[in-house]
Chains A and B, each alone.
Chain A
Amino acid sequence: MRYLLVEDNADLAAALTGRFALAGHVVDHADCLNDAELATRTTDYDLILLDIMLPDGDGRSFLKRHRAADNPTPVIVLTARSEVSDRVGLLDLGADDYITKPFDYTELEARVRAVLRRLGGAAANTREFAGLSFDSTTGMISAAGSSEQLRNRETRLLEVFFAAPGQVFSKSHLMDRLFSFSDEVSENAIEVYVGRLRRKLASSEATIETVRGLGYRMVRRE
């Protein structure tokens, strides 16, 4: 998936770009409206993440032009403004969703997933490994002709493994991806989700392997 991030806060932009890259997405960064206009003219994006207060103008004017041009790319607005006053206006202007800064990355990821799923038509995000096909947007897995719906946390966990099959991910890394900072959970919680994922992958060649002392990785079953 290719996202356009329009954000003038360089730290935030770098962090978001890094997080999305971990999930296997490419993020182009524009730090003003001008660059954003240029980028949308030359590249087709699956999603635009748009800040409202930008050095060369109001993100809402970009949104208005974007909608007026019948551009189908969904837009999620990142706003630091008060929720009460802005909420209605943003959705009326054609934003598909919005998130209030500061936000948890997992929350943004969930909103991206929800928007992409709602629009349905967006490029299928299906990847394959060892006879298992996985759509990280809808959370559907299929193998050997049968398909199954994963729950949200299972989907996100599998997404981590799919980004780098064979690579070992530590428990703490998986924790970071699965839980927001407001969740107070022990590292054992990961074992529960890995166990469930193993059961759901049973009909395919792929499985999650425990690497003692290091973490987990996804491998082809021997």
Chain B
Amino acid sequence: MNAQLPSIRRRLVVQLALVAALLSVAFFLTVRGVAGNATEQTQDSILAASAASIADAVYSDDGAVRVELPYSALSMLGTVSEDRVFYRVIVDGETLTGYDDLPVPSGRAGPRAPLFDTYTYRGDSLRSVVISRALSGASRPRRVEVVVAQTRLGLEVISARITGTATAIAVAFFLVATALSALAARNALQPLNRLAETMARRGPKDLRPVTDETPEELAPLVAGLNSFMQRLGAALTRSEDLIVEAAHRVRTPLATVRTQAEVMHLQVEKPANRSALRQMIRAVDESSRSAGQLLDHAMVTLRSDQLETEETDPGELLHDVVGRLGPTAELKDITIRLELPPEQTRVMGDPILLQNAVRNILDNAIKYSAAETDITVRLEPGNPCRLVFCDQGRGFAAADITRLPDRFSRGSNVSDVVGSGLGLTIVADVARAHGGSLEIADNPEGAGACVTLVLPSC
């Protein structure tokens, strides 16, 4: 298994959610700032209007400065909840009326130009304004300053409400944006998932190009995949062709050599010549058999690598192979007894490979059996499924049993019989490819051996 990177979808969703979170926070801060400013400005203008109307109500009466507070000046401030209002009228630095310790916002207030400040007074945070005017009409010009201040409770309530609303909107935005990004990520990755599914559904031998519609970004990947599969397909076809062709090329001249030797063998009388020709023919048989089995082995390896299973009846398969090898057995007057269960059986496997394995086992049994003996072929259905081949031949030497399935390994007691040492290797390979095994044992019913092809179930 390769090291796995985190899923693209998860990464996409996390990144989009991070962006959504940043946007939400920015939105929240902006709304709170703008709304806070707006309410403050509202309060400021009311305070300034109130201060202006008080300043207007200051008049000079025979050198004495008097003020009559207009009701509206304070009532316009009263609109906001439970806020308290403070005022102070100062004439030439002396408090005329109001709270004489109410601080004057610092800085020079221009004529009619209000000056604002925020400070703490008697434990409350106040927003205050000062307006100054010159009072004429008296003996000398007098300087009047009007300070109006208001607690900020109302402002805080409004600000809290705005903060709450902004928070709710920001959270809602974040949630909706995250959900949408998850959806978008899924949608965006759908072609990729579809491609992965298509590939996963394919059989091991399906090397057709991918023709599904794919987005631009996947096009190079799909093109690469298609060209790879095409090359793989071509290579596999070449291998199979090569195996078939090689068999033909090797066997045709061998057939000619063998035929010539055989014809000559019929014509010569001298025992020494006959024996030489006989050896020659046996050598030809040995090489043709080796070539055949090497190629069979190559083909079996090729097919095992990409095992394509289908339902096969092992009984029918045994019946076919026994029928096929019947004439060969008959030449030595060997009787093959086929014992099949009455019910039909099914096994999942590659019929060509299984047939090859069964043929190799039976071919071996015939080859190593003496004339006029019996070979028993038995199908024992169940889990596991056992295809048992017992002969009355020379059996296996105990020391050989474990190494016989190795390539080119032959029994120590068979040097007089033509063989390649690949037969049982092919059988073992086929068994392994099907999740089964090859068992070699002495025949429990006397002389000879039993070879069993064990498959998972049938």
Specify whether A and B are partners. yes
Check A114/B330 contact, CB under 8 A, given A9-B252, A101-B255, A181-B278. Answer: yes
Shortest CB–CB separation between residue B120 and chain A, in angstroms? 99
B292 touches A (CB below 8 Å):
yes
A153 touches B371 (CB 8 A): yes
A181 touches B299 (CB 8 A): no
A11 touches B (CB below 8 Å):
yes
Q: Quick one: CB contact mask for A104-118 with B, threshold 8 Å, 1 for yes?
A: 111100110110000
Stretch with Cβ within 8 A of B (4 or more), from A29-37, A76-84, A160-168: A76-84
A53 touches B (CB below 8 Å):
yes
Stretch with Cβ within 8 A of A (4 or more), from B9-17, B84-92, B141-149, B257-265: B257-265
- Enumerate chain B residues within 8 angstroms of A100, measured Cβ to Cβ: 251, 292
B182 touches A (CB below 8 Å):
no
A106 touches B244 (CB 8 A): no
Q: Give the A-B pair count, Cβ closer than 8 A.
A: 122
B292 touches A82 (CB 8 A): yes
Contact of B255 (CB < 8 Å), options: A12, A152, A172: A12
Q: Quick one: CB contact mask for B250-283 with A, threshold 8 Å, 1 for yes?
A: 0110111111101101100101001000100110
The residue in chain A whose Cβ has the minimal distance to the Cβ of B324 is A97
A18 touches B (CB below 8 Å):
yes
B40 touches A (CB below 8 Å):
no
B247 touches A11 (CB 8 A): no
Shortest CB–CB separation between residue B288 and chain A, in angstroms? 5
The residue in chain B whose Cβ has the minimal distance to the Cβ of A181 is B281
- Enumerate chain B residues within 8 angstroms of A110, measured Cβ to Cβ: 327-328, 330-331
A153 touches B333 (CB 8 A): yes
Contact of A182 (CB < 8 Å), options: B271, B324, B372, B418: B418
B244 touches A87 (CB 8 A): no
A86 to B252, CA, bound (A): 16
Check A85/B240 contact, CB under 8 A, given A9-B252, A181-B278. Answer: yes
A residues contacting the other copy or chain, number (CB 8 A): 41
Shortest CB–CB separation between residue A155 and chain B, in angstroms? 9
A87 to B295, CA, bound (A): 14
- Enumerate chain A residues within 8 angstroms of B240, measured Cβ to Cβ: 85
A151 touches B327 (CB 8 A): no
Q: Quick one: CB contact mask for B359-392 with A, threshold 8 Å, 1 for yes?
A: 0000000010001100000000000000000000
Q: Which residues of A contact B (CB under 8 A)?
A: 9, 11-12, 14-16, 18, 53, 80-88, 97, 100-107, 110-111, 113-114, 151-153, 172-173, 176, 180-184
Q: Which residues of B contact A (CB under 8 A)?
A: 240, 243-244, 246-248, 251-252, 254-260, 262-263, 265-266, 269, 271, 274, 278, 281-282, 284-285, 288, 292, 295-296, 299-300, 303, 324, 326-328, 330-333, 351-352, 355-356, 367, 371-372, 416-418
5 A-B pairs in the complex with CB atoms less than 8 angstroms apart: A15-B263, A80-B255, A83-B292, A84-B295, A182-B282
